[in-house]
Every structure is written in structure tokens, then in C-alpha cells.
Amino acid sequence: MDKITLEVLRSGKKRTSYELKYRKGMTVLDALVEVREKQDSSLAYRHSCRMGICGSCGMNIQGVPRLACQTQVSTLGKETVKVEPLHGMRVIRDLVVDIDPFLTMHTSVKPYLIRENPSERDNSDREYRVLSEEVGRFLQFDFCIMCGLCYSACPTIALDPDYLGPQAIAQAYRYMADPRDEGWEERVELLDRPHGVWRCHVAGSCSFVCPKDVDPAKAIQLARVEVLKKRFLRKKPRAGSPLVSLVPVVAPKQGTKAPPFDFRKGEAK
């Protein structure tokens, strides 16, 4: 194809079409940038890294939420590309939506490491011993770039804006599954609520659209199992992993001159 039409539903109301010449490897973001730079400088959309790691450019392309920087026009297979703002959120302007409710939900699940003794976490010079298999239990859920695509795709969010959302629950589970975390009880409490984990009905669209394979649907069901464990089995959480005691690194006070050192010996390695 040598020409494409970008049809943008600006602010969710006005449908505007832009004609562009197609270049090999063109992504939807490339098309939007070309529109703003050459045709219509008032087209507002978010973007930053253009490599699918910052999560700014989430928008609804051909009916499904995607990252514009990762969506090749050629894979969409059509000459008209329909772009809309992310569904389920308030539109501020053109393709820019309000992600504050999404961010607030994330903060509300206490997404940080909780230890019974906070000074162990903040004022110590030792490290936790964690085996690779134990990291593997939560690592997948830590890949979340907070793009909001899962939140936008979730049918429960469309119905119920007070629902925590797949991203928040997945992040709560990420910390529950972290062997260094001791906040299992608190998090189960936060999830075991009317608008918490019970509102998920496994539509799976969150995992379907996630650009980083965080698989929030899996995280939510695993979190639900934890909540059930607490409710029915009264199961106690497993103990957090121990601190490794090791010899602190020899760090001279700031300002002391370095001891004499033969750099040739270092270079011989």
C-alpha cells in the first residue's frame, strides 16, 4: 500500500481523517507524529520513548487498546487506521485521557515492600538472600509499565469505576508473592472487599492486551486463591526471607584520599 488514512476520533466526538504516504516499518505513532508536524499541529497525544517501555502512547486502535509506538500499520492490514482515546477513561483532549483514577488505584494497594521491622529495610547494610526460583514467582508481574491498557480493556472497569482494576491487583499480588514481603495480611484485607478481587469475572482481556506479558488475569486469580486461603483455611503467611549477614564493604569516610595503588596490577587481569 502506498497511502493510508488515519481516522482519529478527537476528544471522543469529532472524527477527523488524515491522509499520509506509507513508509516501510511505519508505526501508528510515526503516523501521528507526521500528522502533528506536517498537517495539524493541534493534534494532542502522549508519547515519549517510542520503544514500548514508558507506556505513554496507549490508545484504542481498531477497537483494541494498544501502544501506538509498537503497532505497525502493516500488521493492521487495512488502509484506514481507526484511532480513538482509551476507553473507560475521561478524555481531556484529542487522544489524551485522564489516568489519575488508574494511578490512585495502584497507590491504594500499598505497592511497596512491607517488613515488620521497617528499620531493617531502610537502615541496614545487609542484603536479602533470594534464590532465582523465588524471584521467578513474582518477576512476571513486575514487568508492568503502567500503560493503562489492561484497565481500559477490562469490562468490569467499564461498568464499575470503583473496581481496583487488573493493574492494581496484579501489583498487590507481585508484592504478596515476593519472599521479602511481610505484608500479606494487609494486602489480603485490601483485596477482600466489595470492589476488590471479587469483581473479576475472568474475561481475560487484560492479559490479551498487555504489551509486556504481565498476565494480570493470572495474578488476579492467584491473588484470589490467597484471599480464599485466608478466609477458609485461616492459613498463616510464610515467613519472609532472612537477611544475609555479610561483611560490610570497606568504605572510607568521604574526603579521605585513596590509598596508594598500583594500577598496573589491576590492568593485568
> Of residues 23-82, which lie at the interface with other proteins (CB under 8 A)?
23-25, 36-38, 41-42, 44-56, 62-64, 70
Rounded Cα distance, 193 and 198, in Å: 7
Site for other proteins contains 120 (CB under 8 A): yes
Answer for which of 18, 151, 175, 184 binds other proteins (CB under 8 A) is 175
Q: Give me the 212-251 binding string for other proteins, x by CB under 8 A, dash otherwise.
A: xxxx-xx--xx-xx--x---------------x--x-xxx
Q: Which of 180, 169, 170 is nearest to 118 (CA)?
A: 180
Judge residue 151's burial from the number of C-beta atoms within 10 Å of its C-beta, 0-12 exposed, 13-18 middle, 19 or more buried: buried
Least distance CB 226 / other proteins (angstroms): 9
Cell numbers for 107: 497507590
Site for other proteins contains 161 (CB under 8 A): yes
Q: Give me the 130-149 binding string for other proteins, x by CB under 8 A, dash otherwise.
A: xxx--xxxxxxxxxxxx---
Rg for the chain, CA atoms, rounded: 24
Judge contact between 170 and 219, C-beta under 8 A.
yes
Rounded Cα distance, 155 and 202, in Å: 10
User: Per CB under 8 A, which of residues 82..101 are in contact with other proteins?
Assistant: 84-94, 96-97, 99
Give how many residues touch other proteins by CB under 8 A: 121
Q: Which of 94, 102, 103, 118 is nearest to 46 (CA)?
A: 94
Site for other proteins contains 200 (CB under 8 A): yes
Question: Partners of 16 in the beta sheet?
Answer: 8
Q: Judged by CB under 8 A, which stretch of 14-22, 123-131, 188-196 contacts other proteins?
A: 123-131
Site for other proteins contains 185 (CB under 8 A): no
Least distance CB 21 / other proteins (angstroms): 13
Phi, psi (rounded to 5 degrees) for 241: -75, 150
Site for other proteins contains 167 (CB under 8 A): no
